């Protein structure tokens, strides 16, 4: 579901890093350099396992796994090893709805309210006017990731998610701008259920996975632990590689719960590149493939330091951009412990799949660009070196931020009030409750809908504290408290940008 900003950040990185260009061409890269390139990058990024597929004109140019499923273990990744694909799930959701349209069971122009009678969003007029296309093209008026802290890896059911989403005030006007909204895809999944009579997971499995031949892929995160050939989830926190639990993603399954392999995703690519008719088999109507690939939202004009790129758009579960006169149809995905990329070049019949089992690497996108350039006969650029340089600078900034804040904490600066006066129950009108308790002379924050997760608050003096989560995915953020008349009124809670950018104001009860 996450990491979607990585594509946009990577484009910015490329534009600012042209000095890394290499003079050699990449025509033979796939044959003579790929393995060493991947092995070196895995060491540099601390990635335990990688799986890659490259298809051109219906043929496998690359299909292999590297490394291990779990750090410190010897069980090797192969082409059938499953990885959480995160937001690459969205293209399956968009295709599912386009397939239902082709079957005459719905229209992508249908109002959401037609299918979900209890559906509502903050504005009553928008509630009536919102269409399936709006859900799938991220043009609902919300900020990117707005509301995701409430939903992401929480104990909320889908029904509770829908209720809370309906209370969330969008930051922008309806259809006024693009904002990546995971909850919109969760709502779209309910429409699939209503129109087909099947659960989301059942529809994706029987109507997409099975016809395509994706025999090992699974549609729900509650199936991860029981899968026989699945990679473990990992992250890298302050330079240390750690195994982490799989995410609880099924309340937002249509936004990011699928796990798949390089082989299965390669079959998916073959099917899409053949307009739903690979090897002459009519798996999908061509309209079910093409409708999600039509542009609906404008993100910007795009750009690339070496080659031509003229637009950056979004369809119905796909990013769309130009590259050297070709249209790219692509997406990235990131959830707890995984980041992945999937790219199609329909005019050239090229498909590229890169799967990794950490959520803290830039290799998954660098590798995509390297493979794409190799397939197109473009010069070798060493995108991984650029991504690493960007990562080094990012880590320096993060380390500097943490050092300055931890140095302040070490000075034992006094808060404006005694810690006991900060303790108590706090409430956000939509999220629910957060409790603050004094434990071992520190405040500890626990959240109603994120059991097992907590943040330790280090005093920075005055009314500010550094909140450090026990789950590194949620990050380290400065939380300011509002004090009035000698009493604590509220605290502004933020989490890692990977989860959500928007702050939450919790009021002391």
pLDDT in tens, 313-362: 999 999 999 999 899 999 999 999 999 999 999 999 999 999 999 999 99
User: What's the confidence (pLDDT) of residue 307?
Assistant: 64
Q: Which residues contact 489 (CB under 8 A, 6 or more apart)?
A: 481, 482, 483, 507, 508
User: What's the confidence (pLDDT) of residue 27?
Assistant: 53
pLDDT < 70 regions, the chain: 1-27, 305-307
User: What's the confidence (pLDDT) of residue 31?
Assistant: 87
For CA atoms 128, 499, 262, 377, the dihedral sign is positive
Q: How far apart are CA 303 and CA 445, in angstroms?
A: 43
Q: How far apart are CA 472 and CA 452, in angstroms?
A: 13
pLDDT in tens, 163-201: 999 999 999 999 999 999 999 999 999 999 999 999 999
Domains defined for the chain, CATH in brackets: 5-394 (3.40.710.10), 411-508 (2.40.128.600)
Q: Which residues contact 39 (CB under 8 A, 6 or more apart)?
A: 66
Rounded to 5 degrees, φ, ψ at 170 are -65, 150
Q: Which residues contact 339 (CB under 8 A, 6 or more apart)?
A: 3, 6, 86, 332, 333, 356, 358, 359, 360, 361, 364
The distance from CA 171 to its chain's CA centroid, rounded to whole angstroms, is 21
Q: How far apart are CA 350 and CA 345, in angstroms?
A: 5
Q: How do strand 83-84 and strand 59-67 relate by DSSP bridges?
A: unpaired
Is residue 303 classed exposed, middle or buried when 0-12, 13-18 and 19+ CB atoms within 10 A define those classes? middle
Helix (H) or strand (E) holding 296, with range, is none
User: Is the separation of the CB atoms in 150 and 164 below 8 Å?
Assistant: yes
User: What's the confidence (pLDDT) of residue 6?
Assistant: 46
């Amino acid at each position: 579901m996450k990491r979607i900003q990585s594509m946009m950040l990577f484009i910015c990185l490329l534009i600012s890093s042209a000095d890394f260009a290499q003079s050699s061409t990449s025509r033979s890269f796939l044959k003579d350099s790929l393995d060493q390139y991947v092995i070196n990058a895995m060491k540099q990024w601390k990635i335990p396992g990688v799986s890659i597929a490259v298809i051109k004109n219906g043929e496998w140019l690359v299909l292999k796994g590297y490394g291990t499923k779990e750090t410190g273990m010897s069980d090797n990744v192969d082409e059938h090893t499953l990885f959480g694909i995160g937001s690459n799930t969205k293209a399956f959701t968009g295709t599912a709805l386009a397939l239902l349209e082709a079957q005459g069971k719905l229209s992508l122009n249908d109002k959401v309210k037609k299918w979900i009678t209890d559906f509502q969003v903050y504005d009553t007029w928008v509630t009536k006017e919102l269409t399936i296309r709006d859900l799938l093209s991220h043009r609902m008026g919300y900020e990117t990731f707005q509301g995701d802290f409430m939903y992401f890896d929480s104990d909320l059911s889908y029904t509770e998610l829908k209720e809370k989403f309906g209370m969330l005030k969008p930051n922008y006007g309806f259809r006024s701008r693009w904002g990546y909204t995971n909850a919109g895809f969760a709502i779209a999944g309910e429409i699939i259920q209503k129109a087909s009579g099947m659960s989301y997971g059942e529809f994706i499995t029987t109507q997409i996975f099975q016809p395509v031949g994706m025999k090992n892929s699974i549609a729900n995160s509650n199936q991860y632990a029981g899968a026989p050939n699945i990679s473990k989830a990992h992250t890298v926190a302050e330079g240390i590689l750690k195994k982490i639990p799989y995410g609880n993603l099924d309340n937002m399954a249509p936004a990011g719960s699928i796990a798949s392999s390089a082989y299965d995703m390669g079959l998916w690519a073959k099917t899409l590149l053949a307009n739903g008719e690979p090897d002459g088999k009519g798996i999908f109507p061509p309209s079910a493939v093409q409708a999600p690939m039509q542009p609906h939202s404008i993100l910007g004009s795009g750009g690339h330091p070496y080659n031509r790129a003229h637009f950056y758009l979004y369809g119905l579960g796909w990013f769309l951009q130009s590259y050297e006169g070709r249209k790219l149809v692509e997406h990235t995905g990131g959830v707890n412990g995984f980041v992945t990329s999937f790219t199609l070049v329909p005019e050239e019949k090229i498909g590229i799949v890169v799967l990794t089992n950490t959520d803290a690497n830039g290799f998954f996108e660098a590798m995509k660009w390297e493979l794409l350039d190799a397939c197109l006969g473009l010069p070798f650029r060493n995108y991984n070196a650029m991504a690493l340089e960007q990562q080094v600078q990012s880590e320096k900034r993060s380390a500097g931020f943490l050092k300055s804040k931890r140095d302040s904490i070490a000075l034992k600066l006094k808060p404006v009030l005694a810690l006991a006066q900060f303790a108590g129950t706090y409430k956000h009108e939509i999220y629910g409750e957060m409790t603050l308790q004094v434990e071992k002379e520190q405040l500890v924050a626990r959240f109603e809908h994120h059991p097992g997760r907590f943040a330790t608050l280090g005093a920075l003096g005055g009314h500010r504290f550094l909140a450090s989560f026990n789950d590194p995915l949620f990050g380290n953020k400065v939380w300011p408290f509002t004090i009035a008349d000698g009493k604590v009124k509220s605290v502004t809670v933020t989490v890692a940008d990977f989860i959500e950018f928007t702050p939450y104001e919790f009021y002391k009860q």
